[in-house]
Amino acid sequence: MIDVKVFKVGVLATNSYLITDSETGKAAVIDPGFADKRLTAALEELEDGALEYILLTHGHFDHIGAVSEYAARFGAKVVISALDAPFLSDNSLNLSGRLFRGIEPMQADVTLNDNDTVSLGSTTLRFILTPGHTCGSGCYVSEEDRIIFSGDTLFYRSVGRTDFATSDPEAMLSSLHKLMSLQGDYRVLPGHDIETSISEERMYNPYL
């Protein structure tokens, strides 16, 4: 089981999630787009070495902006899909060059493919590749907790934009149907806006 804390960070109000395995205290931060003081304080409260991973749903700047700082400070491993790994060192792909000087290039420690898993203490997170917003966008799923961290793939009654480099509207539709095909219901914690659920989106998402 995991404990989940959400922090809205940066000018685009990115949802960054601090997840902690309740049995072992091992932790991960999902999509730390900016070095928000509240998120930083929460990370500082963890036991030394407890932050094992920085899990990224995709490589856009508003989801990776604080990765270098947190990885260096807390010794966490950077995890992203193999397809989006190039975004970490290419400011044209991660879009950071559009708004400011760009993000200092970095490298992933772990790259994931569809259905790969990440172990966080006694918790297993499954990575589901959901291209559309970017070529390597993905979701992290806790089957035990019935939670999906959906990044910018699935929002409350909406979906992520598909007009960026490597975006693909047709792939987005396929990814949405892939998520909707999951059995039962899941709590959906997206990269922006409010949380939703798979049952809510099956009924009301206009893109389905």
CA-angle at 53, arms to 103 and 74, nearest 5°: 70
Question: Contact, 186 vs 139, CB < 8 A?
Answer: no
- pLDDT number for residue 101: 72
Query: How many whole angstroms separate alpha carbon 45 and alpha carbon 29?
Result: 13
Separation of alpha carbons 73 and 76, rounded Å:
8
Count CB-CB contacts under 10 A for residue 4. Answer: 16
All structural domains of the chain: 2-204 (3.60.15.10)
- Is the pTM for the entire model greater than 0.75? yes
Report the Cα 9 to chain-centroid distance in Å: 13
193: Cβ–Cβ under 8 A, 6 or more apart, which residues? 15, 155, 156, 158
pLDDT at 127: 98
pLDDT at residue 97, rounded to an integer: 79
Q: What was the pLDDT predicted at 102? A: 80
d(CA 83, CA 113): 8
Among 181, 188, 115, 119, smallest CA distance to 151 is for: 188
pLDDT tens-digit profile, the chain (208 residues): 999 999 999 989 999 999 999 999 999 999 999 999 999 999 999 999 999 999 999 999 999 999 999 999 999 999 999 999 999 999 999 999 766 678 989 999 999 999 999 999 999 999 999 999 999 999 999 999 999 999 999 999 999 999 999 999 999 999 999 999 999 999 999 999 999 999 999 999 999 8
pLDDT at residue 37, as a whole number:
96
Phi, psi of 63 (to 5 degrees): -120, -10
pLDDT of residue 192: 98
